[in-house]
Amino acid sequence: MTDTDLVELYSSESGVTANFVSSVDGSVSVEGRSAGLGSPADKKIFSLGRELADVVLVGAGTVLAEGYRGARRERPLPIAVVTARGSLTPDLPLFTDTAVPPIVITCAAASLPALPAEVIVAGDSEVDLPLAVSELAARGLHKVDLEGGPRLFGAMVAAGLVDALNLTVAPLLAVGEASRIATGPVVPPVDLSLASVLRADDVLLLRYQRRNSS
């Protein structure tokens, strides 16, 4: 497919789109990082997710594990980091290597150091995710690219906030203790419709939409 075809296929008017890669047996990482599952096709869809978004949403644990840097593109979009425990420090590459200040979404109970970021307080003892998404929308950030990690994805699903999922299936069996792409308390299953299937050699690129999602 051409780049134009991909943009048309993956575009959405608004909402939250999760972007994840997993092995065939459901592992979300190899040796603690998702990069071990990556491929050129996966990187293409990952970059496209950012290109089509207004903001990247990610959990603090993923920022630390994956060594996230800030946005450094011709159209730099902010990275919004969710933390309820105040685990971020100002010396992280997320803050020191970026073209646009990140957004930190936290709760009133968190103890955050001074950070070079816009801080949104959403919730008291835990982050109120519907309020967080609403606060992003109030800033004109309507298209959210959810990049991880599994606990944040699970919490977003439980809150009914995920509208679409771009899932790359890597042709690997990665047996181990890595988690699945969404973890958390048991919630009623969310019904999805398969919007598209692409193949790049042995890699499958799946796009799902929440059924009856506007």
What's the pLDDT score for residue 78? 92
Residues paired with residue 169 on neighbouring β-strands, in sequence order: 22, 204
* Comparison of pLDDT for 80 and 1, the residue scoring more: 80
Task: Please give the share of the chain, as a percent, with pLDDT higher than 90.
Answer: 72
User: For the segment 135-157, what is each residue's pLDDT rounded down to a tens digit?
Assistant: 999 999 999 999 988 999 999 99
pLDDT for residue 214: 45
Identify the three-state secondary structure at position 20.
strand
| Per-residue pLDDT reduced to its tens digit, 92-115 | 999 999 999 999 999 999 989 999
CA geometry: angle at 81 spanning 167 and 21, to 5°? 15
What average pLDDT score do residues 38-51 get? Answer: 91
* pTM exceeds 0.85, yes or no: yes
pLDDT of 213 > 60? The answer is: no
Residue environment code for 61-90, b if the CB has 16+ CB neighbours within 10 A, otherwise e? bbbbebebebbeeeeebbbbbbbbebbbee
Return the half-sphere exposure (C-beta side, CA atoms, 13 A cut-off) of residue 60.
Answer: 17
Helical residues (DSSP H) of 67-118, grouped into ranges:
93-96
- Type of residue at 170: A
53 — phi, psi (to 5°)?
-100, 165
Mean pLDDT of 44-59: 94
Nearest to 86 by CA among 47, 55, 125: 125
- Average pLDDT of the residues in 7-19: 91
Instruction: State the chain's mean pLDDT as an integer.
Output: 91
Q: Is the pLDDT of residue 31 over 80?
A: no
What letter represents residue 158's amino acid? A
Backbone angles phi, psi at 138, to 5 degrees: -65, -20
